[in-house]
Amino acid sequence: RDYTREMIRRQELYLPLFEKYLKKYDLPSELKYLPIIEAGLNPKAVSGPRAVGLWQFMSPTAREQGLKIDWYIDERMDPEKSTEAACKYIKWLYGVLKDWKMTLAAYNSGIGNVKRAMRRSGYKKDFWQVYRYLPRETRSYVPQFAAIMYAMEYADEHNLFVEEQLYPIAHDVIKTNQFIYLKAFAEESGISLQDLTQLNPAIKKGAIPATARNFELRIPKKSSE
Protein backbone atom coordinates (compact mmCIF):
# COMPACT_ATOMS: atom_id res chain seq x y z
CA ARG A 1 0.00 0.00 0.00
CA ASP A 2 2.84 2.40 0.81
CA TYR A 3 4.49 1.74 -2.57
CA THR A 4 1.21 2.32 -4.43
CA ARG A 5 0.63 5.56 -2.51
CA GLU A 6 4.09 6.77 -3.50
CA MET A 7 3.34 5.99 -7.17
CA ILE A 8 0.06 7.93 -6.90
CA ARG A 9 2.01 10.83 -5.37
CA ARG A 10 4.44 10.84 -8.34
CA GLN A 11 2.03 10.04 -11.18
CA GLU A 12 1.42 13.66 -12.31
CA LEU A 13 5.17 14.08 -12.84
CA TYR A 14 5.29 11.54 -15.67
CA LEU A 15 1.99 9.89 -16.62
CA PRO A 16 0.72 12.83 -18.77
CA LEU A 17 4.04 12.72 -20.67
CA PHE A 18 3.70 8.95 -21.22
CA GLU A 19 0.11 9.39 -22.41
CA LYS A 20 1.22 12.02 -24.96
CA TYR A 21 3.75 9.70 -26.62
CA LEU A 22 1.57 6.58 -26.39
CA LYS A 23 -1.14 8.49 -28.25
CA LYS A 24 1.40 9.72 -30.83
CA TYR A 25 2.43 6.10 -31.59
CA ASP A 26 -1.14 4.75 -31.38
CA LEU A 27 -0.38 2.50 -28.39
CA PRO A 28 -2.71 1.57 -25.50
CA SER A 29 -2.72 4.24 -22.78
CA GLU A 30 -2.48 1.52 -20.09
CA LEU A 31 1.20 1.12 -21.00
CA LYS A 32 1.79 4.33 -19.03
CA TYR A 33 1.96 2.09 -15.94
CA LEU A 34 4.96 0.13 -17.24
CA PRO A 35 7.59 2.50 -15.73
CA ILE A 36 6.01 1.92 -12.30
CA ILE A 37 7.10 -1.74 -12.47
CA GLU A 38 10.30 -0.93 -14.30
CA ALA A 39 11.62 1.97 -12.25
CA GLY A 40 9.15 3.15 -9.63
CA LEU A 41 8.75 6.36 -11.68
CA ASN A 42 12.38 7.27 -11.02
CA PRO A 43 14.20 8.59 -14.14
CA LYS A 44 17.59 7.88 -12.55
CA ALA A 45 16.82 4.25 -11.63
CA VAL A 46 19.64 1.76 -12.35
CA SER A 47 19.03 -1.99 -12.05
CA GLY A 48 21.49 -4.77 -11.20
CA PRO A 49 21.99 -5.70 -14.89
CA ARG A 50 22.66 -1.99 -15.62
CA ALA A 51 19.31 -1.13 -17.17
CA VAL A 52 18.71 2.60 -16.74
CA GLY A 53 15.91 5.15 -16.59
CA LEU A 54 12.13 5.17 -16.39
CA TRP A 55 11.88 2.53 -19.11
CA GLN A 56 14.93 0.54 -17.96
CA PHE A 57 16.79 0.38 -21.26
CA MET A 58 19.95 -1.69 -21.57
CA SER A 59 22.57 0.29 -23.49
CA PRO A 60 22.51 -1.77 -26.77
CA THR A 61 18.71 -1.47 -27.08
CA ALA A 62 18.85 2.22 -26.14
CA ARG A 63 21.42 2.95 -28.83
CA GLU A 64 19.37 0.98 -31.38
CA GLN A 65 16.47 3.32 -30.57
CA GLY A 66 18.66 6.40 -31.10
CA LEU A 67 19.42 7.34 -27.50
CA LYS A 68 22.81 8.90 -26.78
CA ILE A 69 24.97 7.50 -23.96
CA ASP A 70 28.42 8.85 -23.08
CA TRP A 71 30.49 10.03 -20.11
CA TYR A 72 28.41 13.21 -19.58
CA ILE A 73 24.97 12.42 -20.97
CA ASP A 74 22.70 9.37 -20.70
CA GLU A 75 19.47 9.96 -22.59
CA ARG A 76 17.97 6.84 -21.02
CA MET A 77 17.41 9.17 -18.03
CA ASP A 78 15.74 11.85 -20.17
CA PRO A 79 11.96 11.34 -19.63
CA GLU A 80 10.96 12.74 -23.05
CA LYS A 81 13.57 11.01 -25.19
CA SER A 82 13.43 7.67 -23.37
CA THR A 83 9.62 7.62 -23.52
CA GLU A 84 9.61 8.19 -27.27
CA ALA A 85 12.29 5.50 -27.70
CA ALA A 86 10.27 3.08 -25.55
CA CYS A 87 7.13 3.71 -27.62
CA LYS A 88 9.01 2.99 -30.86
CA TYR A 89 10.49 -0.18 -29.37
CA ILE A 90 7.15 -1.43 -27.98
CA LYS A 91 5.41 -0.74 -31.29
CA TRP A 92 8.08 -2.81 -33.05
CA LEU A 93 7.72 -5.68 -30.54
CA TYR A 94 3.95 -5.72 -30.98
CA GLY A 95 4.36 -5.67 -34.75
CA VAL A 96 6.36 -8.89 -34.47
CA LEU A 97 4.34 -10.70 -31.75
CA LYS A 98 0.78 -9.39 -32.39
CA ASP A 99 -0.18 -9.99 -28.73
CA TRP A 100 0.03 -7.52 -25.84
CA LYS A 101 0.92 -10.00 -23.07
CA MET A 102 3.68 -11.46 -25.21
CA THR A 103 4.86 -7.93 -26.05
CA LEU A 104 5.15 -7.16 -22.33
CA ALA A 105 7.06 -10.42 -21.81
CA ALA A 106 9.44 -9.50 -24.63
CA TYR A 107 9.91 -6.00 -23.20
CA ASN A 108 10.99 -7.60 -19.94
CA SER A 109 13.25 -10.41 -21.13
CA GLY A 110 14.00 -9.67 -24.79
CA ILE A 111 12.35 -10.95 -27.93
CA GLY A 112 14.91 -13.79 -28.22
CA ASN A 113 13.81 -15.35 -24.91
CA VAL A 114 10.15 -15.05 -25.87
CA LYS A 115 10.66 -16.65 -29.29
CA ARG A 116 12.64 -19.46 -27.64
CA ALA A 117 9.78 -20.03 -25.16
CA MET A 118 7.27 -20.09 -28.03
CA ARG A 119 9.38 -22.64 -29.88
CA ARG A 120 9.69 -24.87 -26.79
CA SER A 121 5.92 -24.67 -26.20
CA GLY A 122 5.25 -26.03 -29.68
CA TYR A 123 4.88 -22.59 -31.25
CA LYS A 124 2.02 -21.47 -29.03
CA LYS A 125 1.35 -17.72 -29.14
CA ASP A 126 -0.59 -17.15 -25.93
CA PHE A 127 1.27 -15.95 -22.82
CA TRP A 128 -0.31 -18.54 -20.51
CA GLN A 129 0.47 -21.37 -22.94
CA VAL A 130 4.18 -20.44 -23.08
CA TYR A 131 4.28 -19.33 -19.42
CA ARG A 132 6.33 -22.22 -18.02
CA TYR A 133 9.00 -21.83 -20.71
CA LEU A 134 9.63 -18.15 -19.95
CA PRO A 135 12.31 -16.87 -17.53
CA ARG A 136 11.03 -16.81 -13.92
CA GLU A 137 11.04 -13.01 -13.66
CA THR A 138 9.03 -12.69 -16.88
CA ARG A 139 6.37 -15.11 -15.61
CA SER A 140 5.58 -12.69 -12.78
CA TYR A 141 6.04 -9.56 -14.90
CA VAL A 142 2.75 -9.69 -16.81
CA PRO A 143 0.59 -10.45 -13.71
CA GLN A 144 2.50 -7.67 -11.90
CA PHE A 145 1.60 -5.25 -14.69
CA ALA A 146 -2.07 -6.24 -14.40
CA ALA A 147 -1.91 -5.74 -10.62
CA ILE A 148 -0.31 -2.29 -10.71
CA MET A 149 -2.68 -1.18 -13.47
CA TYR A 150 -5.64 -2.26 -11.31
CA ALA A 151 -4.17 -0.63 -8.18
CA MET A 152 -3.65 2.72 -9.95
CA GLU A 153 -7.02 2.71 -11.71
CA TYR A 154 -9.05 1.76 -8.61
CA ALA A 155 -6.91 3.28 -5.84
CA ASP A 156 -9.78 5.33 -4.40
CA GLU A 157 -11.97 2.22 -4.03
CA HIS A 158 -9.28 0.76 -1.77
CA ASN A 159 -8.78 3.93 0.30
CA LEU A 160 -5.42 4.71 -1.28
CA PHE A 161 -5.07 8.48 -1.11
CA VAL A 162 -2.18 10.91 -0.84
CA GLU A 163 -2.12 14.25 0.95
CA GLU A 164 0.54 15.87 -1.23
CA GLN A 165 0.66 15.33 -5.00
CA LEU A 166 3.93 16.05 -6.85
CA TYR A 167 3.74 18.14 -10.03
CA PRO A 168 6.33 18.82 -12.75
CA ILE A 169 8.24 22.10 -12.74
CA ALA A 170 6.99 24.38 -15.53
CA HIS A 171 10.00 24.86 -17.79
CA ASP A 172 11.45 26.47 -20.89
CA VAL A 173 14.28 25.11 -23.05
CA ILE A 174 17.49 26.90 -24.01
CA LYS A 175 19.90 25.44 -26.55
CA THR A 176 23.62 25.48 -25.86
CA ASN A 177 26.75 24.57 -27.84
CA GLN A 178 29.32 25.06 -25.09
CA PHE A 179 30.60 23.55 -21.87
CA ILE A 180 28.32 24.39 -18.94
CA TYR A 181 29.03 23.46 -15.32
CA LEU A 182 25.58 23.28 -13.75
CA LYS A 183 26.68 24.42 -10.27
CA ALA A 184 28.31 27.59 -11.66
CA PHE A 185 25.34 28.16 -13.99
CA ALA A 186 22.97 27.89 -11.00
CA GLU A 187 25.04 30.33 -8.93
CA GLU A 188 25.30 32.90 -11.74
CA SER A 189 21.64 32.71 -12.74
CA GLY A 190 20.11 32.35 -9.30
CA ILE A 191 18.31 29.17 -10.43
CA SER A 192 18.06 26.38 -7.85
CA LEU A 193 20.61 23.66 -8.61
CA GLN A 194 18.10 21.11 -7.34
CA ASP A 195 15.53 22.32 -9.90
CA LEU A 196 18.12 22.22 -12.70
CA THR A 197 19.12 18.68 -11.74
CA GLN A 198 15.50 17.54 -11.51
CA LEU A 199 14.64 19.03 -14.91
CA ASN A 200 17.74 17.54 -16.59
CA PRO A 201 18.22 14.01 -15.20
CA ALA A 202 20.16 12.90 -18.32
CA ILE A 203 23.14 15.08 -17.29
CA LYS A 204 25.29 12.60 -15.36
CA LYS A 205 28.38 14.52 -14.23
CA GLY A 206 26.86 17.90 -13.41
CA ALA A 207 28.05 19.39 -16.68
CA ILE A 208 27.20 19.67 -20.38
CA PRO A 209 30.24 18.81 -22.53
CA ALA A 210 31.77 21.29 -25.00
CA THR A 211 31.10 18.75 -27.78
CA ALA A 212 27.32 18.87 -27.25
CA ARG A 213 25.52 20.40 -30.20
CA ASN A 214 22.23 22.22 -29.63
CA PHE A 215 21.87 20.57 -26.24
CA GLU A 216 18.41 21.34 -24.88
CA LEU A 217 18.84 22.52 -21.29
CA ARG A 218 15.57 22.75 -19.38
CA ILE A 219 15.26 25.68 -16.98
CA PRO A 220 12.35 26.73 -14.73
CA LYS A 221 9.92 28.92 -16.67
CA LYS A 222 9.90 31.51 -13.89
CA SER A 223 13.67 32.00 -14.39
CA SER A 224 13.72 32.04 -18.19
CA GLU A 225 14.34 35.80 -18.49
- Could you tell me the CA-to-CA distances from 79 to 20, 109, 142 in Å, in that order? 12, 22, 23
Q: Is 19 assigned a catalytic role?
A: no
179, 211 contact by CB (below 8 A): no
| Cα gap 154→99, rounded to integer Å | 25
Element (H, E) at 175: strand 171-176
Active-site annotation holder among 12, 19, 30, 38: 38
How many other C-beta atoms lie within 10 A of the C-beta of residue 41? 21
> In one letter, which amino acid is 168?
P
Adjacent-strand bridge partners of 208:
180
| Cα gap 160→166, rounded to integer Å | 16
Catalytic residues: 38
